[in-house]
Amino acid sequence: MKIKNICCIGAGYVGGPTMAVIAQKCPEINVTVVDINEKRIAAWNDEDVENIPIYEPGLSAIVKEARGRNLFFSTEVDKAIDEAELIFISVNTPTKTYGIGKGMAADLKYIELCARQIARVATTDKIIVEKSTLPVRTAEALKNILDNTGNGVNYQILSNPEFLAEGTAIEDLHKPDRILIGGDVDSEEGRKAMQALVDVYASWVPKEQILTTNVWSSELSKLTANAFLAQRVSSINAMSELCEHTGADVNEISKAIGMDSRIGPKFLKSSVGFGGSCFQKDILNLVYIAKSYGLNEVADYWEQVIIMNDHQKRRFAANIVKTLYNTVSGKKIAFLGWAFKKDTNDTREAAAIYVADHLLNEQADIVVYDPKVKAEQIYADLEALETHSSDEIHRRVKVVNTAQEACKDAHAVAVLTEWDEFKGLDWKAVYDDMLKPAFVFDGRNILDIQKLSQIGFVTSVIGQAVKSKKTMKEPSMAN
Ligand code: NAD
Ligand code: UDX
């Protein structure tokens, strides 16, 4: 079976970049990305490609190349479903905020709505591809809905989880470590559907990197991969606290253990805590699934990854309060960075949100600078927590356009995102503009601490003892 028309439901951080790359690499396939969010689709169609709704290095150039040729963004969901032989479902699957499984299970209402819409509209056979991250055995539910509410057409359900990381999405899509395709390996139709999707990817991905598995393995592999990655970050963050108490340096530890080929160097960077829309949500979902099978030890094991991450964010804020003589009330704290990592404008579950919330509890004034995140997003993130009134948030939190401006007259600077530009700041000028003693809290381990101490800053870095010009090695977080 040769695919000529692809529809992707969901024009978000996964649907947009993934489909742009498929369109780029498969010019013979028409790719239509649809969404119910009209504003988002309008932004994808903005004449100036720099205004597309997602910031990802390299993405705007691909959109420029393919949009209007074989890449289309539209709100006409029914039409795109009808025309496609292959439909990716790439809608959001957030943690449930209500009812059974609240705060843990994945909310599958958007997935189910897509299935019902496809069933209503489709008049020809379709391959449905789960691109969203889903609980194991969701394909069964999808098949049930499609077969029972459809127009008698045949559906094949595939699982094709996405492993891209934000900030490097295009690189990850161009050169994926692997493509995973799960399907009904036991039937001829199932194998044909899998082959059709393999052929799409084979336009640019070497065949040996395209794995085919049964559908349940594919669904569960995605949750497992995210759990393992997040677990590494929580593991190194656990060691960072021990480092602060003992004088060991977490960077040196990461390097030392990462050179062991059995451990490897990636995902060993200690930080203020992992964020992003996936890690926490997917681990909570895994914990919920394990619990639902009565596997309490399995659930507790993975839940600890989240507990450690929450602790890391909380103790970063607590350390700021403690170091600033146990009060930050009315003090100005400059936040460098708000996004959950560099090179993205995504702020979902960003550590900065929670650190800011803890500091607002202490009545701090916060001035934020992030090169890619808009002020309205920062306010929306804080308001969504519902812990402080909108009035208070607008009174205490300011958003500015440069790092230097954020740091002016500040008592302390906190690095929350590892944007490259923060490394190259004129730190002497920053120091001159700040109140003294001038404190820096590096939540990302990116600054040249030796240099900053020489300038006169008192520096506090995750996983290292406090340093200042006078007291180059005085453990402080330890006490
Ligand atoms: P997102 O919120 O950025 O995008 C989802 C889009 O789906 C939204 O624009 C929403 O309006 C749209 N949508 C929801 N219901 C719809 C419907 N019925 N019809 C049409 N459009 C609808 O989410 P995302 O970050 O792209 O994530 C999508 C999925 O991919 C999630 O399951 C996520 O876990 C998974 N995933 C995300 C990443 C990542 O880096 N963000 C990586 C891998 C996997
Ligand atoms: C993650 C997975 O990496 C990706 O495969 C999946 O498809 C979606 O979820 P993403 O959340 O976009 O991707 O970014 P990632 O690079 O994994 O970073 C997640 C968080 O962990 C960020 O806040 C990052 O700053 C933090 N992190 C990552 C660390 O603190 N230390 C590290 O060593 C690596």
Does ligand 1 come within 6 angstroms of the Cβ of 249?
no
| Share of residues in the chain with pLDDT > 90 (%) | 96
39 contacts: CB under 8 Å, gap ≥ 6: none
Active-site residue 222, yes or no?
Answer: yes
Reading phi first (left if > 0) and then psi (alpha if -120 to 50, else beta), residue 361 is in alpha
Q: What b/e readout covers 76-111, taking b as 16+ CB neighbours within 10 angstroms?
A: ebeebbbebbbbbbbbbbebbeeeebeebbbbbebb
Please give the pLDDT value at position 475. 45
Other residues' Cβ atoms within 10 Å of the Cβ of residue 1? 15
Q: Measured between alpha carbons, how far is 24 from 309 in angstroms, rounded to an integer?
A: 38
Please give the pLDDT value at position 150. 86
Q: Is 460 in contact with 439 (CB distance < 8 Å)?
A: yes
Q: Residue with the nearest Cα to atom 44 of ligand 1? A: 162
Of all atoms in ligand 1, which is nearest to the CA of residue 14? 26
Please give the pLDDT value at position 478. 41
The average confidence (pLDDT) of the chain is 96
DSSP-assigned letters across all residues of 245-299: HHT--HHHHHHHHHTSTTT-STT----S---SSSHHHHHHHHHHHHHHTT-HHHH
Of 227, 355, 238, nearest in space to 303 by CA:
227
Active-site residue 162, yes or no?
Answer: yes
Say which of 162, 166, 241, 244 is annotated catalytic: 162
Q: Residue 159: beta bridge partners? A: 130, 182
Q: Cis link prior to 371 (omega < 30° from 0)?
A: no
Q: Looking up tokens 């300011």, which residue turns up?
A: 398
User: What are the pocket residues of ligand 2 if the criterion is a CB atom closer than 6 Å to any ligand atom?
Assistant: 162-166, 226, 229, 233, 267-269, 271, 274-276, 278-279, 340-341
Does ligand 1 come within 6 angstroms of the Cβ of 133?
yes
What integer is the mean pLDDT of 265-285?
98
Of 314, 341, 136, nearest in space to 220 by CA:
136
What integer is the mean pLDDT of 371-394?
98
Q: Looking up tokens 């988002």, which residue turns up?
A: 40
Residue 353 Cα to ligand 1 midpoint, Å, equals 21
Does ligand 1 come within 6 angstroms of the Cβ of 35?
yes
Structure confidence by residue, pLDDT tens digits, 70-110: 999 999 999 999 999 999 999 999 999 999 999 999 999 99
Please give the pLDDT value at position 465. 75
What integer is the mean pLDDT of 188-198?
98
Q: Measured between alpha carbons, how far is 57 from 366 in angstroms, rounded to an integer?
A: 29
- HSE-CB at 95 with a 13 A cutoff on CA atoms is 21
Residue 474 has pLDDT above 50, yes or no: no
Active-site residue 278, yes or no?
Answer: yes
What integer is the mean pLDDT of 264-289?
98
> Please, which pLDDT band fits residue 341 given cuts at 50, 70 and 90?
very high
Q: Residue with the nearest Cα to atom 15 of ligand 1? A: 110
Q: Is 431 in contact with 456 (CB distance < 8 Å)?
A: yes
Q: Is 89 in contact with 9 (CB distance < 8 Å)?
A: yes
Q: Measured between alpha carbons, how far is 288 from 293 in angstroms, rounded to an integer?
A: 9
Does ligand 1 come within 6 angstroms of the Cβ of 24?
no
Does ligand 1 come within 6 angstroms of the Cβ of 54?
no
Residue 354 Cα to ligand 1 midpoint, Å, equals 23
Residue 234 has pLDDT above 70, yes or no: yes
Residue 131 Cα to ligand 2 midpoint, Å, equals 18
Q: Is 427 in contact with 451 (CB distance < 8 Å)?
A: yes
Please give the pLDDT value at position 268. 98
Other residues' Cβ atoms within 10 Å of the Cβ of residue 427? 22
Length of the chain: 479
> Please, which pLDDT band fits residue 467 given cuts at 50, 70 and 90?
low
53 contacts: CB under 8 Å, gap ≥ 6: 11, 16, 40, 43, 44
| Share of residues in the chain with pLDDT > 70 (%) | 97
Please give the pLDDT value at position 466. 67
Classify burial at 148, counting beta carbons within 10 Å of its beta carbon; exposed 0-12, middle 13-18, buried 19 or more: exposed
